[in-house]
């Protein structure tokens, strides 16, 4: 189900909403559980998070803007709920961390807060990019461009093919993405992309 | 902005280059993007949705559906969920109307006054003035409007947890956060209420889980 259909059918109310819930529950549960697995959250914790997220999705359906895909929106809510869980675990260290969490996501106990906070900062930036509309009809959204760069490490020529444009325009688009990321990091995390790179003593 | 800075940033983002091991922010951004892509890819690979019957529904799903039904999601009302439940702010007006229709106006007013005094006494005193324009009540949830919901929620969570509450904060979108507050047995509920009052939520009664929302203007 795409976002437009979700909004249209939820707006009809009553029995149609119930149908949407029945049709989409398993898929939504899959998105939530997949995200939980990535963050090494399992068992009862994952069930609780999934329950809370799906409840929020349906009770707050009218806050979904429709800009990001429905899956992205659900993933954003799940990720935020997971971060809240991780923060709680940091606040209550006597409670056991999920198996493997310390090894994979957060290597040292004293890195835990920084790790989660950094993830939250990044999640805010990604969420902001997800909610940004296309520059124009048919163009590639910034979140898609960023994903392509992360996953594909493309050359300028490959980037131009992906964007269906010239190499010069592809370079400009990449520079614009960089500029926008700087703005978002400054606005949401209090620093800039420049701090993402180690240069001399500045990290 | 210089080209070198940009090139090195994208090198780190793509997971290569000599700077990659020393770039925690870029590493986190790269991880975040990859993780998002993996989850959405897995979601896309799931079998097409088909409608469940009552017998196919698991106990867990049934609990969720019952909860959604109890919250009025499936009521035969179009529009937003706020329309499904009467707003608490109209409660006193509604009560006054009911009382007025059965008793004389002075009697109704006296009953209202007794109710209001009862609520205040139960809360342990009169709360500090609250800017009501900043509070939106609807669908059983108190909402405050703040310029920076993320910071506000973080501060509120810390204060409530220090007072002994169990807090779950979830960002719904770039404008809104939901905060659920539960009070474990043995914790003073009054201390939690005071923190909420100080944060601008006014008087919050009831014994169950407290459901709050924080939104941008």
Give the count of beta carbons closer than 10 Å to the beta carbon of residue B88. 15
Mean pLDDT of chain B: 68
Q: In whole angstroms, give the CA distance from residue B115 to residue B92.
A: 10
Mutating which of B5, B32, B56, B161 best tests the A interface, going by the most A Cβ atoms within 10 A? B32
Kindly report, residue by residue over A82-92, the tens digit of the pLDDT: 888 887 776 66
Res A84: pLDDT: 85
Q: In whole angstroms, give the CA distance from residue B166 to residue B161.
A: 6
Q: Do B63 and A123 touch (CB under 8 A)?
A: no
On chain B, the residues whose CB falls within 8 A of the CB of A77 are 170-172
Q: In whole angstroms, give the CA distance from residue B202 to residue A129.
A: 35
Res B168: pLDDT: 80
Nearest chain B residue (CA) to A33? B39
Q: Compare CB distances from A58 to B12, B23, B73 and report the shortest one's residue.
A: B73
On chain A, the residues whose CB falls within 8 A of the CB of B32 are 119, 122-123, 126
Beta bridge partners of A51: none
pLDDT(B105) > 70: no
Q: Do A14 and B74 touch (CB under 8 A)?
A: yes
Distance from CA of A167 to the nearest CA of B (A): 15
pLDDT interval class at B57 (50, 70, 90): low
The beta strands (E) that lie in chain B are given as 135-138, 141-145, 166-171, 176-182, 210-215
pLDDT interval class at B196 (50, 70, 90): confident
Q: In whole angstroms, give the CA distance from residue B20 to residue B116.
A: 63
Beta bridge partners of B213: B143, B178
Token representation of residue B3: 């080209």
Res A203: pLDDT: 28
On chain B, the residues whose CB falls within 8 A of the CB of A1 are 49
Nearest chain A residue (CA) to B166? A88
Beta bridge partners of A58: none
Q: Is A196 on the interface with B (CB under 8 A)?
A: yes
pLDDT interval class at B82 (50, 70, 90): very low
Beta-carbon pairs below 8 A across chains A and B: 200
Res A105: pLDDT: 42
Res B127: pLDDT: 43
Res B27: pLDDT: 75
Res B125: pLDDT: 40
Least confidently predicted of B2-6, B84-88, B129-133:
B84-88
pLDDT(B133) > 50: no
On chain A, the residues whose CB falls within 8 A of the CB of B174 are 127-128, 131
C-beta separation of B162 from B199 below 8 A? no
Span A22-30, mean pLDDT?
A: 89
Sign of the torsion formed by the C-alpha atoms of B179, B184, B189 and B194: negative
Span A144-148, mean pLDDT?
A: 92
Res A146: pLDDT: 92
ipTM of the complex, rounded to two decimals: 0.75
Span A70-78, mean pLDDT?
A: 91
Res B131: pLDDT: 53
SS3 content of chain A, % helix, strand, coil (to 5): 75, 0, 25
Res A106: pLDDT: 39
């Amino acid at each position: 189900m795409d976002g437009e259909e979700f909004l249209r059918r939820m707006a009809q109310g009553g029995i149609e909403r119930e149908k949407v819930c029945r049709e989409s529950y398993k898929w939504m549960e899959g998105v939530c559980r997949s995200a939980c697995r990535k963050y090494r959250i399992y068992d009862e914790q994952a069930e609780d998070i999934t329950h809370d997220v799906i409840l929020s999705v349906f009770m707050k359906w009218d806050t979904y803007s429709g800009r990001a895909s429905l899956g992205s929106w659900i993933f954003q809510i799940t990720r935020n709920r997971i971060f809240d869980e991780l923060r709680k675990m940091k606040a209550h260290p006597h409670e056991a961390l999920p198996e493997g969490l310390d090894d994979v996501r957060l290597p040292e106990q004293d890195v835990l807060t920084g790790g989660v906070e950094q993830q939250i900062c990044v999640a805010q930036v990604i969420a902001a990019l997800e909610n940004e509309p296309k520059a124009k009809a048919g163009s590639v959204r910034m979140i898609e461009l960023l994903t392509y760069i992360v996953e594909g490490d493309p050359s300028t020529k490959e980037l131009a093919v992906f964007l269906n444009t010239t190499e010069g325009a592809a370079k400009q688009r990449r520079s614009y993405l960089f500029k926008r990321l700087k703005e978002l990091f400054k606005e949401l995390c209090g620093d800039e992309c420049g701090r993402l790179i180690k240069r001399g003593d500045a990290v | 902005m210089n080209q070198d800075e940009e090139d090195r940033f994208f090198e780190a983002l793509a997971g290569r280059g000599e700077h990659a091991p020393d770039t925690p922010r870029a590493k986190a951004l790269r991880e975040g993007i990859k993780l998002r892509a993996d989850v959405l890819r897995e979601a896309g690979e799931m079998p097409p949705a088909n409608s469940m019957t009552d017998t196919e529904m698991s106990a867990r799903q049934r609990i969720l559906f019952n909860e959604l039904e109890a919250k009025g999601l499936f009521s035969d009302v179009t529009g937003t969920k706020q329309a499904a439940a009467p707003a608490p702010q109209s409660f006193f007006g509604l009560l006054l109307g009911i009382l007025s229709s059965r008793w004389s106006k002075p009697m109704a007013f006296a009953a209202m006054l007794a109710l209001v005094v009862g609520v205040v006494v139960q809360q342990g005193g009169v709360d500090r003035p609250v800017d009501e324009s900043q509070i939106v009540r609807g669908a059983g949830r108190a909402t405050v409007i703040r310029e920076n919901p993320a910071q506000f929620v973080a501060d509120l969570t810390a204060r409530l947890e220090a007072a002994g509450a169990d807090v779950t904060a979830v960002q719904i979108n770039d404008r809104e956060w939901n905060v659920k507050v539960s009070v474990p047995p043995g914790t003073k509920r009054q201390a939690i209420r005071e923190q909420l009052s100080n944060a601008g939520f006014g008087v919050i009664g009831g014994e169950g889980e407290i459901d709050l929302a924080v939104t941008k203007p």
